[in-house]
Amino acid sequence: MSISRRQLLAWFAVAPALPRFLVDSAHAAAQTLTADQPIVVVVRMLGGNDGLNTVVPIADDRYFKARPTIALARRDTLPLPGGELALNAHLVDVQRLIDDGVAGIVQSVGYPKSSRSHARSTEIWETGSTANEAPRYGWLGRYLDHHCDCLAEPIAGIQFGNEPGRTLASRAGRSRSIGHPQLLLDMQPDDLMASKRGPRGPRFDYLLQVENALGQASRQLHRAAKGTGRGFDYPNTAFGQSLRWAGDMIETGSPTRVYYVTIGSFDTPESASFDTHSDQVAKHRLLFSELGQGLRAFTSHLKRAGQFDRTLLLTFSDFGRLVAENKTGGTEHGDASVLFYAGGKVRPGVLGQPADLGTVRDGAIQAAVDFRQVYADVLTNWLRVAPGTVLDEPVAPFRITDIA
């Protein structure tokens, strides 16, 4: 059986995690989702965002002493109530969303004895577990396994982009990773080969599964292409366009419940990520502007579509950074950081305890809020499921949602 370049590209439009997320469509029974079911969008801030130059302790001399070249002066920040803290000036769109009552930031978020390894810490955030042997499936993937038995189409979770991620990975394989949406939109019937009869066997069955996965994802995207996202000012970046696709899918009635997108990249030495070992101020200027513009466009899009009240977006990053700057205008791997969130039914503002510069561990800010407390709120109050079916440790929810 020969495979053309076009057919191969079409298959890899759902890479990189297609084998992990493959599903036999026979697992799904027909059931139409109601229009008011809650949606969760997860944004990964790739690389480990520095919380101190995000929510800035402008009244603390220790901050300026630790960062003689990269500390942000009061004039380069956006004031917050009380005068003790301020936002990075490039988060102006986020501040406007906070002022509008639809966004917020949780300070000093992390977990005890945190890892400063990109791979290990991301694994912990994505699985919601600090166990030495991490769960195979992500925290939202386990939610899908336990609480999404029947869907009209078996795509309950979609990850956009080429960065590997485990947040949506599930035992039942109800998620897809879409690296190249346009390839799926351009896909022709001849690009689906397995339906051309051939000898049955493991190879043929695998191709048939691939065909099913492609067909399902393609149908979702063709429907989403009728959305109005192009009329909003999404950044013309991988992050911005992934967020637009998520908005278009939500607007056009996709049965997908959870979405995952990434901001920042390790693809080339010139790529900007939140792993700011050097040139942190310049990288934050680029990335925070992109993040704010994306969140503003997404909010406007879903408000216009009447879908914002059922949507909750939250971010995570690998870890925070050390308090002291290094010799290259950046910071090294640390512990606690901040978490952004937005939605039609959230508690707006800057929540949690400010970074405590008087109590650090090996040079890093310590967590005052365990990130699993935020997950517990999302599960309990937003998704309306028992957190014990997903999280392996009982924790008290930290409220970012505002639901009676």
Residue 49 backbone phi and psi in degrees, to 5 = -80, 140
List the one residue out of 379, 361, 336 whose CA is nearest residue 51: 336
Q: Provide the β-strand partners of residue 41.
A: 259, 313
**Higher pLDDT, residue 87 or 8:** 87
In a domain, 284, yes or no: yes
Predicted local confidence at residue 267, as pLDDT: 80
Rg (the chain; Cα; Å) = 21
- 124-150 average pLDDT score: 90
Q: Could you give the 3-state DSSP secondary structure of residue 21?
A: helix
pLDDT tens-place string over residues 18-76: 333 333 332 333 334 455 789 999 999 999 999 999 999 999 999 999 999 999 999 99
For 202, other C-beta atoms within 10 Å of its C-beta total 7
Residue whose token pair is 């499921």:
385
Range of the domain at 302: 32-173+233-389
Out of 26-30, 146-150, 257-261, 346-350, least confident range: 26-30
Out of 147-161, 238-252, 384-398, least confident range: 147-161
In a domain, 224, yes or no: no
Q: Could you give the 3-state DSSP secondary structure of residue 393?
A: coil
In a domain, 68, yes or no: yes
pLDDT tens-place string over residues 386-402: 999 999 989 999 999 99
In a domain, 227, yes or no: no
CATH assignment of the domain containing 47: 3.40.720
Out of 35-44, 172-181, 342-351, least confident range: 172-181
Please say whether the beta carbons of 104 and 350 come within 8 A.
yes
In a domain, 383, yes or no: yes
Q: Could you give the 3-state DSSP secondary structure of residue 186?
A: coil
In a domain, 223, yes or no: no
**Higher pLDDT, residue 352 or 217:** 352
How many domains is the chain built from?
1
Give the integer Cα–Cα distance in Å for 79 and 89.
9
Please say whether the beta carbons of 377 and 104 come within 8 A.
no
- 182-198 average pLDDT score: 64
Out of 29-38, 223-232, 342-351, least confident range: 29-38
In a domain, 22, yes or no: no
Give the integer Cα–Cα distance in Å for 380 and 378.
6
**Higher pLDDT, residue 186 or 150:** 186
Give the integer Cα–Cα distance in Å for 390 and 375.
10
**In which band, very low, low, confident or very high, does the pLDDT at 188 lie, cut at 50, 70 and 90?**
low
Among positive and negative, which fits the CA dihedral 355, 361, 363, 367?
A: negative
In a domain, 304, yes or no: yes
